[in-house]
Amino acid sequence: MKTPEGDVFAEMKENPMSNDNSGTLNRRRFLARAAVAAGAVALPCIIPASALGRGGSVAPSERIVMGGIGIGGRGSHDLGWMLTEPDVQWVAVCDAVKGRREAAKKTVDNKYGNQDCAVYGDMRQLLAERTDIDAMLIATGDRWHALASVWAMRAGKDVYCEKPACLTMAQGQLVVETARRYGRVYQTGAQRLSEPNHVFAIEMARSGRLGPIHTIYADIRWRDGMRQDWLPAEPEPSKNELDWDAWLGSSPWRPYNSGYVNGGGWYHFYDFATDVAMWGAHTVAQALAGIDMTHVTHIDFDWEGPDVTMVTRLSNGVKLILYRVGGSVWDQCKLWHGSCGERFDGPEGWAAAADGYSRPDVSSPALLRDYKKVLAEYTGRTQRQLNHVRDFFDCVRSRRPTVANPEVMFQSMSICLAADICEQLKRSMKFDLRKAEFVGDPEANRLRSRAMRAPFTA
């Protein structure tokens, strides 16, 4: 799993993102300014204020041009979120399911009051034709996240990709390498890294207000295994209604069944999804953000049997507990109330956050007195807004790494996927985090990748 140049995390630190500002946005600015200069010698004309960026609007030449791939379900939520940003212009949507792409087009066209949003059923056509697009939302099913991101970045697009960002460590490494090689900005959809309550809990740990952190917890909605079978064949829809081959992508070929497509039924099958990483893509990233991971080289995974929370020990002495919740256990969780929680324990107290909180949970009310101050210090130090898609768009402009950049994604996903493999093989293991490989366990290492079905390959 090591690249020819060396450690993949080290590579990201040496050159996280290209600082080259000669990209699409700057070319458009040059052309716009040239047009204005040329117009100075022409006859006067009336130009709408919106075209010049007046009245609170953003001039077209300054907008980030967006497209979306996989635009139903979570993708429709992200589309609505991104459409509120005034400096973003949506021009194209793509989905293998006709009804979803048509619904997305309607949403975009209603926003702009026209019929200009282009519709595609095949992402390859979209990426080949739309050289005007700056950035792409990837919100397909999990099986497509990594490959679609790689294809988009190779086509010169910055990428906002929903989580989990990959099904395997090999896919995650490929995303890291592609972003670095092509100088692309990448944000994975671990949006709680940009939400105030989670940021506060993370900063309480990171800043030392809790003392040296000895234990961190991540909420894992561990399921009772992934289905290894497949559903019976049903009559396949027309390719225009649903391109089944494209929907499957690099996953193994399976006969069409509406149960996969409707209601997210694919989520329960190993062919198309992961276990720990489904929620750990959020919570492990949240937990790791509160501690110094610089010198963490190895992780010990202690497997104690099914239905048991997994304890991992980082080489810096911190315990990372993958707290298994779900079913009846959910109501018994004493670490947080709600979903996607993380908690940090230190000698001076603890802090935790999860969805639905008005304020984070803390061991003492006194820890909340500096709530606004802690958040202000964070935004001042990082120059990041507490808005995940806004952080992405700001980084598209500045070319600096996002808060959930490829390195952050790969580190947290590697831990989640390693836990999945420990559960699958039912044994404890030692994992080399920098090399993204198990120590002295060839069988486990073979599970770090999956075969990719042609022609949907990297």
pLDDT digits (tens, 9 = 90+) for 408-419: 999 999 999 999
* Least-confidence region, from 20-34, 219-233, 370-384: 20-34
Give the model's pLDDT for residue 34: 47
Q: Quote the DSSP letter at residue 233.
A: P
How is residue 317 written in tokens? 């002495």
CA-nearest of 118, 138, 165, 148 to 75 is 138
- Long-range CB contacts (within 8 A, 24+) of 99-105: 99/72, 99/241, 100/71, 100/72, 100/75, 100/76, 101/71, 103/71, 103/72, 103/76, 104/68, 104/71, 104/72, 104/75, 104/76, 104/79
* φ, ψ dihedrals at 337, nearest 5°: -120, 130
pLDDT in tens, 109-141: 999 999 999 999 999 999 999 999 999 999 999
If you average pLDDT over every residue of the chain, what do you get? 88
pLDDT in tens, 369-378: 999 999 999 9
Q: Please give the span between the terminal C-alpha atoms of the chain, in angstroms, as a whole number.
A: 16
Helix (H) or strand (E) holding 159: strand 158-161
pLDDT in tens, 309-335: 899 999 999 999 998 765 444 445 678
CA-nearest of 349, 346, 341, 344 to 367 is 349
d(CA 437, CA 455): 27
Give the model's pLDDT for residue 384: 98
What domains does the chain contain, in order, with CATH numbers? 8-40+53-190 (3.40.50.720), 193-225+274-386+408-446 (3.30.360)
pLDDT in tens, 201-218: 999 999 999 999 999 999
User: Please, which residues have CB within 8 angstroms of residue 29's CB and are 6 or more apart in sequence?
Assistant: 61, 62
Q: What is the largest CA-CA distance in the chain?
A: 80
